[in-house]
Amino acid sequence: MMQSQLPSTMLSYTIYRLGTWYTLYRFIIAFSLLLIFYITGGRVGSDYPQPDTYFYTLIAYTLINFIQGALFRFYPKWITQQLSSLFIIDIIALSFLTYAVGGPNLHLGLLYVVTVFSAAILLHARMSLVMTLLAVIILVYQQIVIVLFNTDHLNAIGDSILLAFLFFVVYGIGQIAVRRFQILETITNYQSDILNQLQNINRYILDQVDDGYLVLDENYYVVVSNPAACNFLGIPPLFAHEQLTLAKVQPDLFEILKSTNLQDGEKFNFESQLSTYQIHIRIQRLQIPKQSLILLTLQDTQKLNQHVQQLKLAALGQLSASIAHEIRNPLAAIAQANELFTDSDSAQQKQLQYMIAKQTKRINSIIEDTLGMARNHATYPVVIQLTAFLYGLLEEDLTDVKDQIRLVFSREDLQIIFDPSQLRQVLINLTRNALRHNAPDAPFVEISVKENGDILWIDIIDYGDGVTKRNISQLFKPFFSTEIKGTGLGLYLSHSLCEVNHAKLTYVEQEKGACFRIQCSIKENE
């Protein structure tokens, strides 16, 4: 029932909390002053010109504080009115105490200042100004009345005026502080709304995805979960405010994570008696300030296998369509030559036979390249000394064109780790491709070997027309070729062979010609 009576808005609730602390403060002050007077009043009676007024004012002030504090705490309605009554009582009580001691002193002056400042913080600007003016009027007129009856207190008027001026200063400081608090509160509320909005969006996204996500802290308490994760693990839906340990909701998974030192990025399959799913789980450790979290990504193994099969079928369909497209043209040429063969003379028949043989050879080339791509030969990388390897390549595999090739080395002792037969195949493909596209007036193509930090570049450079920007994105796709006679598998196969040897084949744009670059790590000499 108490919670339903509390102010609903954040600002009102803050004022209510501060007001509650202020009621406790004023009760402690009143009770302490009463206790001090009771203990010391007999010995320092000269300090209290009006001891009876001082004593009875404190008794009344303490009782009223107790009643007002109880009302404010347990009946938080009309907060502004209750706070106004608190400050009015404080000002009246302090004015009586000031009169009883014969004028303002340091202790009562400080209590006045605290009251005025608290009013500036807890009340609206107009109401807090009213309280400040009330304190000033009562304090000044009180001293005027005292002086009228006793001229010995004439100096107290100056102290009262100075204290009244201090009230206005404190009121101004309080208003500045309130405005700063309001600005900070507005910024905080805005940021809170943005965070809540982002949190709701993230929660909505997590609820919609098919993969399960489970975030655990260092003690294996569930921090975040989505419905898919709960479904996979066979556990009831967990809400954001729940802090449940994984050992309680899914003990089988907890035992695996606790007993096995699984590293970041590791994957494993999981089955539980609580669930009918076979789950593929990937672990990722999240390092955030002052906390270490574990992210578990859960996927249905059956769906993963189905997806892999779909990708294989899609790739097979694309490959089949590409092969059919590439073979259709030479087959059409063979069919046409066959139709013309019967009615042709011997010279024409010889030309048609040549055409049929040429197109048959082209079909065979497409099949051989496709089979070579599909065989997926095992890779046996070894340390290769590039200078000797490239000179041997010219003498053994590129003898017919070695005079058109120039080798350039930044160092003679450069080594890499690569499968020799596969590197040979890549370099032959790239070099002969460069020779076909080289400018007629260019004397050579260049194979350049140079260092770039701990990376080695093998550049095969020609000086022809280069590759158009439109075709660059298609370069390493199967069956893409700018030549009528090309199968479009050479660059694709070279790119694949570089990848399996932990190297990278890229195209580097140049002002003149084309450059295909093989990037791989340098093997230092031992």
pLDDT of 150: 52
Tell me, what's the pLDDT at 458? 92
Mean residue pLDDT across the chain: 78
Residue 494 · residue 369 · CB < 8 Å: no
Alpha carbon of 127 to those of 10, 68, 78, 94, 131: distances in Å?
21, 19, 14, 19, 6
Query: Residue 242: its pLDDT value, please?
Result: 65
- Residue 486, pLDDT > 80, answer no
- Contact yes or no for 226/209 (Cβ under 8 A): yes
Can you give the pLDDT at residue 209?
84
DSSP structure class, residue 411: -
Spatial contact of 525 and 384, defined as CB atoms under 8 Å apart: no
Are residues 16 and 6 in contact, defined by beta-carbon separation less than 8 angstroms?
yes
pLDDT for 207 beyond 50? yes
159 backbone dihedrals φ, ψ, rounded to 5°: -65, -40
Least confident among 136-150, 257-271, 369-383, 486-500:
136-150
Q: Measure Cα distances from 290 to 191, 217, 218, 286 in Å.
A: 22, 11, 11, 11
Amino acid at 227: P
| Among the listed residues 171, 181, 74, 154, the one whose alpha carbon sits nearest the alpha carbon of residue 116 | 171
Express as a percent the part of the chain with pLDDT over 70. 79
Ranges assigned E (strand) in 241-363: 267-271, 278-288, 291-300
* Number of neighbouring beta carbons within 10 Å of residue 317: 10
- 296 DSSP β-pair partners: 214, 283
pLDDT at position 459 is 92
pLDDT at 215 over 50: yes
pLDDT at 44 over 80: no
Q: Is 269 helix (H, G, I), strand (E, B) or coil?
A: strand
Return the SS3 of 215: strand
> Percent of the chain at pLDDT above 90?
3
| Choice among 159-168, 296-305, 338-347 with the minimum mean pLDDT | 159-168
pLDDT tens string 284-310: 888 777 788 888 898 888 888 887 777
Mean pLDDT of 339-358: 81
pLDDT at 103: 66
| Residue 1: predicted pLDDT | 35
Query: Pairing state of beta strands 382-385 and 415-418?
Result: antiparallel
Domains of the chain, earliest start first = 2-187 (no CATH), 209-303 (3.30.450.20), 304-375 (1.10.287.130), 382-521 (3.30.565.10)
Residue pair 94/140 in contact (Cβ under 8 Å)? The answer is no
φ/ψ region of 440 (left if φ > 0, alpha if ψ in -120 to 50, else beta) reads alpha
CB of 90 within 8 A of CB of 30?
no
CA distances (Å), origin 275, targets 12, 232, 258, 271, 451: 49, 6, 20, 7, 55
Lowest mean pLDDT across 15-19, 294-298, 301-305, 437-441? 15-19
CB within 8 Å of 519: residues ≥ 6 apart: 455, 456, 457, 503, 504, 505, 506
Residue with the bigger pLDDT between 497 and 241: it is 497
DSSP state of 8: S
Of 91-100, 149-158, 172-181, 223-232, which gets the smallest average pLDDT?
149-158
Q: Give the pLDDT band (50/70/90) at residue 48.
A: low
Enter the tokens of residue 375: 């065989």
Give the C-alpha separation, 250 to 231, whole Å. Answer: 12
More confident site: 516 or 162 = 516
In this structure, of 213-222, 269-278, 286-295, 477-486, the range with the lowest mean pLDDT score is 477-486
Running DSSP on this structure, what letter comes out for residue 453?
Answer: T
Q: At residue 272, does pLDDT exceed 70?
A: yes
CA angle (273, 275, 281) in 5-degree steps: 100
Residue 367 has a CB neighbour count (10 Å cut-off) of 14
Give me the amino acid identity at 377. H
Contacts 24+ apart (CB under 8 A), 434-437: 434/460, 434/461, 434/462, 434/514, 434/516, 435/401, 435/404, 435/405, 435/462, 436/483, 437/462, 437/464, 437/465, 437/514
pLDDT one-digit tens code per residue, 390-421: 998 888 878 888 889 899 988 888 888 998 88
pLDDT over 80 at 4, yes or no: no
What pairs with residue 299 in β-bridges? 280
Q: Averaged over 315-342, what is the pLDDT?
A: 73
Look at 178 and 380; give whichever has higher pLDDT. Answer: 380
Contact 280, 269 (CB under 8 A): yes
DSSP string, 149-185: H-GGGTHHHHHHHHHHHHHHHHHHHHHHHHHHHHHHH
- Phi, psi angles (nearest 5°) of residue 154: -65, -35
Give 3-state DSSP helix, strand, coil % of the chain, rounded to 5: 60, 15, 25
Return the residue matching tokens 């020609």. 462
